[in-house]
Amino acid sequence: MSKGKDLDGEEERVSIGEGSDGETKRKLEKKSCFSSIRIGRSSVVEPQDADYTPSLSDELEVLILARVPRSLYGKFSAVNKRFLSLIKTGDIFKIRREIGFKEPSVFMLASGETSWWAFDPTSESCRNLPVLPSDSCFASGDKETFCAGTHLMVSGKEIDGLVIWRYELAANEWFKGESMKNPRCLFASATCGNYAFVAGGIGTGSNKVLNSAEKYDPETKSWDRLPMMHRRRKMCSGCYMDKKFYVIGGKNEEEKNLTCAEAFDESQNKWEIIPDMLSDMPVSTFHSPPLLAVVNNELYTLETSSNELKVYIKSSNSWKRLGKVPIRADFNKGWGVAFKSLGSKLLVIGASSASDTGNGMTILTCCPDSDNEELQWTPLTCGKNSSSPFIWNCCVMMA
């Protein structure tokens, strides 16, 4: 037999097994609902701190908060000091990664704009990033971008040479990053979970076409050398598929277009040549590097001369047509178009095929299916008006 007090302060007895089942259940529920709330003689509930959650363990609380959509982080951090600390330290993103919970964010810099902005495809909202504190040479020059974990990396040239600026999602701030072992431009890159790979490109000063490769670790903010590729190449593209880092296309030191690819197997620490991977693709001297995206471990490309989507057939080392993409990639021979993986979807950003002038930015997604030649493209509204559809840089972060 146990004793408690009712809301009027009078003692009541709650005995399991005595009385009707309904009456016992009612008394137990009343006792349970108020067992953690202190009641005074005036029957007024004492206010609690917003961070006080007596019914949840710290571990369970963190696991719940880790599943909160990132678009709501600003609101949650304003009322919960513990959650604010998890965001500022970046620990919340480590927890999300451990439990396999992540969401995409699209980072973009369009022509005519002075600052980067981030687009959340889930809520279709966007926000401006802090101003990147680089010099005028970096701001106006060509840049390459890639993501590693919660770091957005932007590589370009300042007055004193090639540099990398790093935007950290947790801190919402830009930092001057660690230079590569071999600083480069016009290189291939790919994201693999919490890491990033780069390969090829043009070296600093000598304008030498490179066959070197490196791996970036955001935890240590440092670069490690990888074995050399078999071919020197610049203006190439990269992707991560089948647990390998692929470097595809580009030009060699004699300015000849390369139709072969190479794949780096980290488990064996070596590169493998894939001959004629782009042999049936139309190649032009002034075309952009190949537009590639991997979804569900399948490789897709947007052919810039025909605006067609193709999927790579691994068994036959060939490409299958999947129909037109409603974006005019042919306007500038592939330059200014973003073609990316967005989790289980394809993302394309550029000038709409419905416009003859190419004015206005269009953002489209689709769930690719190699067995379906009529894919359904869904337009997204990012809440940002941009008169220019020309995308200088675009990168997708999964965090």
Closest CA to 361 of 340, 335, 384: 384
d(Cα 148, Cα 197) in Å, to the nearest integer?
9
User: Can you tell me which residue has the tokens 């480069």?
Assistant: 184
CB 165 within 8 A of CB 107: no
Q: What is the pLDDT of residue 68?
A: 87
* Stretch 181-198: mean pLDDT: 96
Read off the pLDDT of residues 124-182 as tens digits, 9 standing for 90 and up. Answer: 888 999 999 999 999 999 999 999 999 999 999 999 999 999 999 999 999 999 999 99
Residue 308's SS3 state is strand
Is it the case that residue 17 has pLDDT exceeding 50?
no
Higher-scoring residue by pLDDT: 262, 352: 262
Read off the pLDDT of residues 358-395 as tens digits, 9 standing for 90 and up. Answer: 567 899 999 998 777 678 999 988 755 555 789 999 99
CB 351 within 8 A of CB 328: yes
d(Cα 373, Cα 310) in Å, to the nearest integer?
10
Read off the pLDDT of residues 32-51 as tens digits, 9 standing for 90 and up. Answer: 332 333 333 334 444 455 55
* Stretch 87-98: mean pLDDT: 90
Q: What is the pLDDT of residue 6?
A: 42
d(Cα 329, Cα 313) in Å, to the nearest integer?
23
Read off the pLDDT of residues 262-304 as tens digits, 9 standing for 90 and up. Answer: 999 999 999 999 999 998 787 665 689 999 999 999 999 999 9
Residue type, 191: T
CB 396 within 8 A of CB 105: yes
Domains and CATH numbers, the chain: 1-47 (no CATH), 53-101 (no CATH), 104-130+296-399 (no CATH), 132-279 (2.120.10.80)
